[in-house]
A and B are shown apart, each in its own frame.
Chain A
């Protein structure tokens, strides 16, 4: 940045300021796309909604169910969330109607489903999550590149980092922080977040053995809240006042971007992902009214508003209208 003139560096400063403020205000300025249709009630919907799957989407499903039940007072919801890997078996066995997953099904899981059902499951993206890398609120770290993240979490550094990072000094902090060891928090392997982070941030490498695997997304955040030297990953919806979501850079040259809607949709933030709802839908057949209406509700203004309430990011209108066709809502 040496060759930048004073003026341009001021401009850069202004941009950075705008970005940071945009991010601070991010949680509240996110609005549902006004083109998404509002949900209207139909008659003849009743029964049980059984959902087994992602822990990340556990609360989202609960919120949706609460909202849906306001339209259809006696629709009952039973929601289990112990990790995305629990969704496919339950869908196959028929013990659930919806399989929330925070990652795509693996080809193995799709095959297992197809073997029983005779067709592939339908994946409906419901919302967007930015997987955030959290540090303690007192940690001065502002930004990390994916290479650095990889070197902190992975033992074989497949993303191409030069050397292992296990102190905050090696991660770029100076002063008293330089000598402090990094304490790493992560999720258990049943979690879709675990798989997604491994794929995207670790370039499919392996986690270090020192990663403290937590039973829930919220547990990761709470661990870092108490641990000054902690770092970990979780959905942006789990942010609290005790932690800080740092900015990430795809590579050192491309600049840092925080986990805001604009950055995720614009493809600048490297760890954005869809949150899926898998259903068992026979091709060329309409879903039963309960499941159809529930999906329509999620893909509506009210459903997407709930996405924001839980701290995640809503879908753009174009995507929603495409999905409404996919699930069979006129």
Chain B
């Protein structure tokens, strides 16, 4: 036994064990998030539950637990939690049913799930389709495929509506707002210039005329959208007429095979990744949040890299190593340990109210009192995160610089290069892999931060992306959505906590995925650089 300790085998075992525990924990976490999130999008079979009191529900099984007695101890009877949908009829999407109360349960092949633009899913049967005044009964074997075709048409119209709303009308509104600000600017500066004023007003009139034509187009499209209707019957026999324009997707889970389901799953997943959120974020997709997260990290990287590298270069290459530099170094290290919310508070006070306020009072006077830069925005959030992560980059870069062998520098100097040339052409390229390591760490930390963002520019809903087709294309003052905050919002603020729960896990899964993708990109670049500068010791 004593030999085992002396030889050091035991330590190897212990560290192996520790590694295993870590891996199991990471794997477990990913597994939990993936199953809870990814699993929820699978088109589960839909059961018809007939209860002893005569009521009936069409629902998807979501949970099963044993009924707790009065003492809270689980009994032998079970109850199930069903997603019954039809929020406009039942009030809640979910319902607990004691299995003892269920008289019969079957899986009708013609049960339909409609994903709607409003009020969540609808579960029921297709009674008839009203297409151009012509009625197709639900018993017609072709009825469902007709319905699918019509929904596809409606979705196409939807896309055209969106295009007009975001494109044409967006341009018009943007133009009007600009002219209006110009008018207001004249008033603010106290300039009296009737010619200019008339010009601006004329332009606004022009835009308004264009708006009228776009609006007429929209109205025609909306009328077309709501022309066809589906008449549905719920499990309880309630009839409901739903215009096809209000339906996103329809499927009959009970009559779908595995392959069909998988196809539907992919479609749904793509919708989640690429769509805008609906219904106070509890439905639809999370595209603006993904976009906001990635853009914020990119802006942060662009800011943090030069600052971090220059600081590290100065500390390592130029500054005289002494007490002062050591103090600075300690400070930088400590900065890395400051809680992120403290940076957030600093960001609010310094960037938003300080710099933002000055920018507004100088450049955006005509828009006041509504602030342009004096409020949270993607620029301020990115800068706050840059401050938060700059110590990481400095420390990593310094390590990299320290590891560049002395003989390489001396070789360069001996060939007649100046100190700057040596640093720029020899030292930095050799240290690049280490610098990128710093960036990877910084990105990983920044992507996961939520607290400082909440007060510097992240909001619950901002479907307008910070990048669009209007000059100057990148709108740094805009507020944005962020995946981390989205998780918090869905988890703790959602009006429909049960429906939002799977989305919490999906969003968490995507957040991890994005961190992984960003990191892998950086790692691939780093490995290439390593090969290129093979002398590097790092």
Binding site for B on A (CB under 8 A): 26-28, 43-44, 46-48, 50, 55, 58-59, 62-63, 65-66, 73-82, 94-95, 97, 137-138, 140, 175-177, 180, 214-219, 221-222, 225, 228-229, 237-242, 309-311
Enumerate chain B residues within 8 angstroms of A177, measured Cβ to Cβ: 70-71
B359 located at the interface, meaning its Cβ lies under 8 Å from any Cβ of chain A in the complex: no
B461 close to A62 (CB less than 8 A): yes
Asked if B16 is an interface residue, CB under 8 A from chain A, the answer is no
Contact assessment for B89 and A78 in the assembled complex, using a CB-CB cutoff below 8 Å: no
CA gap between A327 and B71 in the complex, in Å = 54
B479 at interface (Cβ–Cβ under 8 A)? yes
A218 and B493 contacting across the interface, CB-CB below 8 Å: yes
User: What's the nearest-Cβ distance from chain A to residue B224, in Å?
Assistant: 16
Q: List the A side residues contacting B369 at CB < 8 Å.
A: 94
- Nearest B residue (CB) for A222: B497
Query: Is B173 among interface residues, defined by CB-CB distance under 8 A?
Result: yes
Which of B278-286, B313-321, B398-406, B509-517 is the contact stretch? B278-286
Among B88, B279, B464, contact of A76 (Cβ-Cβ < 8 Å): B464
Question: Quick check: B96 and A137 within 8 Å, CB to CB?
Answer: yes
Least CB distance, A88 to chain B, in whole angstroms: 15
Which of A48, A74, A214, A218 lies in contact with B495, CB distance below 8 A? A218
B-side residues, CB < 8 A to A, are: 67-72, 81, 88-92, 94-96, 118-119, 164-166, 169-170, 172-174, 176-177, 208, 211-212, 218, 278-281, 368-371, 374-375, 454, 459-462, 464, 479, 491-498
Q: From residue A278, how far is it (CB to closest CB) to chain B in Å?
A: 15
A residues in contact with B89, CB < 8 Å: 28
Most chain-B Cβ atoms within 10 A of its Cβ — which of A77, A78, A94, A240?
A78
A218 to B280, CA, bound (A): 13
Question: In whole angstroms, how far apart are the Cα atoms of A66 and B492 in the complex?
Answer: 21
Q: Once the chains bind, are A310 and B280 in contact (CB under 8 Å)?
A: yes
Expressed in whole angstroms, the Cα–Cα distance for A262 and B494 within the complex equals 26
Beta-carbon contact of A138 and B462 below 8 Å: no
B495 touches A311 (CB 8 A): yes
Shortest beta-carbon distance from A70 to chain B in Å: 9
Residues of B within 8 A of A43 (CB): 208, 211-212
- A62 adjacent to B280 (CB under 8 Å): yes
> CB distance B280 to A138 under 8 Å?
no
| Bound complex: CA A28 to CA B88 (Å) | 7
Task: Enumerate chain B residues within 8 angstroms of A222, measured Cβ to Cβ.
Answer: 491-492, 497
CB A54 to nearest CB in B, in angstroms, measures: 11
Q: Within 8 Å CB of B68, what residues of A?
A: 138, 228
A65 to B280, CA, bound (A): 9
Bound CA–CA A175/B464 (angstroms) = 57
Evaluate whether A216 and B281 lie within 8 angstroms (CB atoms) in the complex, with A65-B461, A74-B169, A95-B375 already known.
no
Q: Which of B119, B491, B492, B495 has the most CB of A within 10 A?
A: B495
One of B70, B71, B459 near A80 (C-beta < 8 A): B459
Question: What CA separation (Å) do A65 and B463 show in the bound complex?
Answer: 11
Enumerate chain A residues within 8 angstroms of B375, measured Cβ to Cβ.
50, 95
What is the distance, in angstroms, from B505's C-beta to the closest C-beta of chain A? 14
Number of A-B residue pairs, CB cutoff 8 Å, is 138
| Other A-B pairs beyond A28-B90, A95-B374, A176-B70, 9, CB < 8 Å | A46-B177, A55-B493, A74-B165, A74-B170, A176-B71, A177-B71, A217-B493, A218-B495, A241-B92
| Known interface pairs A63-B279, A176-B71; A78-B492 also in contact (CB < 8 Å) | no
Q: How far is the CA of A175 from the CA of B68 in the complex (A)?
A: 14
Q: Which residues of B contact A218 (CB under 8 A)?
A: 491-495, 497
Min distance, Cβ A20 to any Cβ of chain B, angstroms: 14
Q: Return B85 CB to nearest CB of chain A, in Å.
A: 13
What A residues does B460 contact at CB under 8 A? Answer: 58, 62, 79-81
Asked whether, in the complex, the Cβ of A81 is within 8 Å of the Cβ of B72, the reply is no
Chain A residue at smallest Cβ distance from B204: A44
User: Which residues in A have their C-beta under 8 angstroms from that of B170?
Assistant: 73-74
With a cutoff of 8 Å between Cβ atoms, the chain A residues found around residue B96 in the complex are 137, 241-242
Q: Are A219 and B166 in contact (CB under 8 A)?
A: no
Among B88, B92, B280, B459, the residue within 8 A (CB) of A240 is B92
Instruction: Tell me which residues across on chain B come within 8 A of A225, comparing CB atoms.
Output: 497
Which residue in chain B gives the minimum CB-CB distance to A310? B495
A contact residues around B166 at 8 Å (CB): 73-74
A117 to chain B, nearest CB (A): 10
Q: How far is the CA of A211 from the CA of B228 in the complex (A)?
A: 53
Whether the Cβ atoms of B371 and A95 lie closer than 8 Å is yes
A239 touching B165 in the complex, CB below 8 Å, given contacts A77-B461, A216-B492, A309-B119 = no
A18 CA to B212 CA, complexed, in Å:
52
Q: Contacts of B173 on A, CB cut-off 8 Å?
A: 46, 73-75
Contacts of A240 in B (CB 8 A): 92, 94, 496-498
Q: Is the CB of A62 within 8 A of B281?
A: yes
Residues in B whose Cβ lies below 8 Å from that of A80: 459-460
Assembly CA distance A126 to B134 (angstroms): 42
Cβ of B3 to closest chain A Cβ, rounded Å: 51
Q: Which residues of A contact B371 (CB under 8 A)?
A: 94-95
Complex interface: chain B residues within 8 A of A28 (CB): 88-91
A213 CB to closest chain B CB (Å) equals: 12
Shortest Cβ gap from A313 to chain B (Å)? 13
Question: Which partner residue on chain A sits nearest B87 by CB separation?
Answer: A309
Closest residue on chain B to residue A41 by CB atoms: B215
| A186: min CB distance to chain B, Å | 14
Query: B497–A175 contact, CB under 8 A?
Result: no
Across-interface contacts of B94 in A (CB, < 8 A): 240-242
Q: How far is the CA of A77 from the CA of B165 in the complex (A)?
A: 15
Enumerate 7 A-B pairs (CB-CB under 8 Å) in ascending A order: A55-B493, A176-B72, A214-B492, A228-B68, A240-B94, A240-B497, A241-B92
The answer to whether A74 touches B174, judged by C-beta atoms less than 8 angstroms apart, is yes
A108 to B95, CA, bound (A): 45
Kindly state the separation between the CA atoms of A33 and B318 in the bound complex, as whole angstroms: 76
Asked whether A78 lies within 8 Å of B169 as measured between CB atoms, the reply is no
- CA–CA, A177 to B498, complex, Å? 27
**Given A79-B461, A138-B72, A241:B493 Cβ within 8 A:** no
**Contact in complex: B479, A238 (CB < 8 Å):** no
What CA separation (Å) do A309 and B170 show in the bound complex? 28
Q: How far is the CB of A137 from chain B (nearest CB, A)?
A: 7
Q: How many angstroms between the C-alpha atoms of A76 and B88 in the bound complex?
A: 27
- Contact check, B208 vs A44: say whether CB atoms are below 8 A apart: yes
Distance (whole angstroms) from the CB of B131 to the closest CB of chain A: 25
User: A311's closest neighbor in chain B, by CB?
Assistant: B495
Known: A62-B280, A62-B281, A95-B375. Is A238-B462 also a contact (CB below 8 A)? no
